[in-house]
Amino acid sequence: MADTIEATGLAIHPGMLSPAEQRSLLAQIQMVMKRSPLYRPTMPRTGKPFSVMMTNCGTLGWVADKAGYRYQPRHPETGKPWPPIPDQLTALWTRLGAPATPEACLVNIYDEGARLGMHQDSDEATFDAPVVSVSLGDTAVFRMGGTTRRGPTRSVRLSSGDVVVFGGPSRLMYHGIDRVLSGSSRLIEGGGRINLTLRRVTPWTDAAAS
Ligand code: MD6
Ligand code: FE
């Protein structure tokens, strides 16, 4: 069970993945990164590069460039479809009670000094499904606020194997990564952190889960 499940629909599950599960998931994601190389997204309008590198798996992937934020079925640089989401992640989605199947899995890679500014996950056409996040490798300082940009925030540390679910009223909560504590995990050779976020992008029908 989650360490914290709040009335707000936020759930944090520390250590939900065992070390063996983390290793097998890492191997799957390394195969995804071979087929679908990391690229550096840029901010809409300004074109400022992200410090985080990204790729995706799933039928849709989240991309950011000068034109904006969106989901698309192909890698922006190779033009190839994203590889499938590993079964281990789809099984986790179902185990957490999320509906149908995830369509997108964004892979975020943090090397030393990378961070992610406060944002909402709001580019999806439905907010009825939760966002499920899995952390691998070095521990991150994760900042969470409310559903508006202003107001108080708090921070929690996310370690390798931790799973966070943003559901219900928390689905549109502001959040970001302040920093990654380098050297805090030995899972990834050479260090760093990988975060995987599973999302539903389009509405689903319960009759034919797709
Ligand atoms: C990260 N996570 O942990 C970034 N989004 O690197 C997210 O942006 C995130 O953890 C939505 C829900 C949960 C998350
Ligand atoms: Fe997010």
Q: What are the domain boundaries of the chain?
A: 3-209
Please work out whether the CB of residue 62 comes within 6 Å of at least one atom of ligand 1.
no
Which residues of the chain form beta strands (DSSP E)? 4-5, 10-13, 53-58, 61-65, 68-72, 104-110, 116-119, 131-137, 140-144, 154-158, 163-166, 175-180, 193-199
pLDDT tens digits along 194-208: 999 999 999 998 876
Atom of ligand 1 nearest to the CA of 52: 6
User: 133 C-alpha to center of ligand 2: Å?
Assistant: 8
Nearest ligand to the C-alpha of residue 195?
A: 1
Please work out whether the CB of residue 121 comes within 6 Å of at least one atom of ligand 1.
yes
Please name the CATH architecture into which domain 3-209 falls: Sandwich (2.60)
Residues 166-188: b if buried by 16+ CB within 10 A, e if exposed: bbeebbebbbbbebbebebbebb
The alpha carbon of 123 is separated from its chain's Cα centroid by a whole number of angstroms, namely: 13
| pLDDT grade for 7, boundaries at 50, 70 and 90 | low
Give residue 6's pLDDT. 61
Taking the C-alpha atoms of residue 210 and residue 207, their distance in angstroms, rounded to an integer, is 9
Average pLDDT, integer, range 131-139: 98
Using the predicted structure, report yes or no on whether residue 89 has a pLDDT greater than 90: yes
Nearest ligand to the C-alpha of residue 142?
A: 1
In the chain, what's the furthest Cα-to-Cα distance?
47
Best mutation site among 134, 197, 198, 199 for ligand 1 pocket (most ligand atoms within 8 Å of CB) = 197
Q: 199 is written with which tokens?
A: 């999302």
Question: Residues whose CB is under 5 A from ligand 2 (ion)?
Answer: 121
Using the predicted structure, report yes or no on whether residue 48 has a pLDDT greater than 80: yes
